[in-house]
Structure 1
Amino acid sequence: MAHKLFLLFLISAILTGRSYSGSIAIYWGQNSKEGTLADTCATGRFAYVNIAFLCVLGNNQTETLDLDDHCDPYTNGCTGLANDILACQSKGVKVMVSIGGGDGSYSLISSEDAKNVAQYLWDNYLGGKSPSRPFSDAVLDGIDFDIEGGSPLH
Structure 2
Amino acid sequence: MSLCIGVKTHTASPPGRWSSKDCLLTVQIIPLAFMVSVINPVLNFANQGDVCTAISGSTLFYCSQLEADITTCQKTYGKTILLSIGGATYTEGGFSSTAAAVTAANNVWSWFGPYSSSAVRPFGTAVVDGFDFDFETTVSNMPAFATQLRTLMNANTSKQWILSAAPQCPYPDAADGPMLAGAVSFDVIWVQFYNNYCGVQSFVAGSSTQNNFNFATWDTWAKTVSRNPNVKVMLGIPANTGAAGSGYETGTFLANVIAYSKSFSSFGGVMMWDISQLYANSGFLDAVTSDLGKPASVPPTTTTVTLPGTTLTTMTTTSASPTTTSGVVSEWNQCGGSGWTGGTVCVAGTTCTVYSVWYSQCNPS
TM-score range, shorter chain: 0.7 to 0.9
Alignment of 1:41-120 (within 5 A): 41-43=23-25, 45-58=26-39, 62-71=40-49, 72=52, 74-75=54-55, 76-90=61-75, 91-106=77-92, 107-120=94-107
Task: Tell whether the 8 Å contact from 1:54 to 1:65 is kept in structure 2 after alignment.
Answer: yes
Aligned-pair identity (%): 25
Higher fraction of helix: 1
Find the counterpart in structure 1 of residue 125 from structure 2.
137
Query: Could you tell me whether the CA contact under 8 Å between 1:32 and 1:69 is conserved in 2?
Result: no
Task: Please tell me the residue identity of whatever aligns with 1:88.
Answer: C
- Kindly provide the amino acid, as one letter, of the partner of residue 80 in structure 1: Q
2:110 match: 123
Alpha-carbon distance, 1:40 to partner:
1.0
Q: Which amino acid aligns with 2:70?
A: I
Q: Which has the larger radius of gyration?
A: 2
Instruction: Within 5 Å, give how 1:3-22 maps onto structure 2.
Output: 20-21=2-3
CA contact (8 A) 2:111 2:122 kept: yes
Return the offset for 1:151. 2.9
TM-score where L is the length of structure 2: 0.33
Aligned-partner SS, 2:48: coil
Letter paired with 1:103 = T
Counterpart among 10, 15, 21 of residue 39 in structure 1? 21
Q: What residue is the counterpart of 1:28 in the other structure?
A: 9
Total equivalences in the alignment? 131
Give the secondary structure class of the aligned counterpart of 1:69.
Answer: helix
Deviations 1:28-69 (A, max 9, x none): 1324646433011122x21101010001123xxx11000111
Structure 2: gaps (5+ residues): 56-60, 143-365
Consecutive unaligned residues in structure 1, runs of 5 or more: 1-18
C-alpha separation in 2, matches of 1:74 and 1:116:
23
Change in Cα spacing, 1:96 to 1:68, as seen in structure 2 (3 Å) is: same
Residues 1:74 and 1:29: Cα distance change in structure 2 (over 3 Å):
farther
Q: Compute the RMSD of aligned alpha carbons.
A: 2.2
- Quote the Cα distance in structure 1 between the aligned partners of 2:106 and 2:96: 15
Q: Does structure 2 retain, via aligned residues, the 8 Å contact 1:122–1:128?
A: no
Checking the alignment, whether the CA contact within 8 Å between 2:11 and 2:17 is kept in structure 1 is no
73 and 121 in structure 1: CA distance in 2 versus 1, 3 angstrom threshold: farther
| Structure 2 contact 10–46 (Cα < 8 Å) conserved | yes
CA distance in 2, matches of 1:140, 1:121: 11
CA distance in 2, matches of 1:131, 1:63: 14
Q: Distance in 2 between matches of 1:115 and 1:94?
A: 25
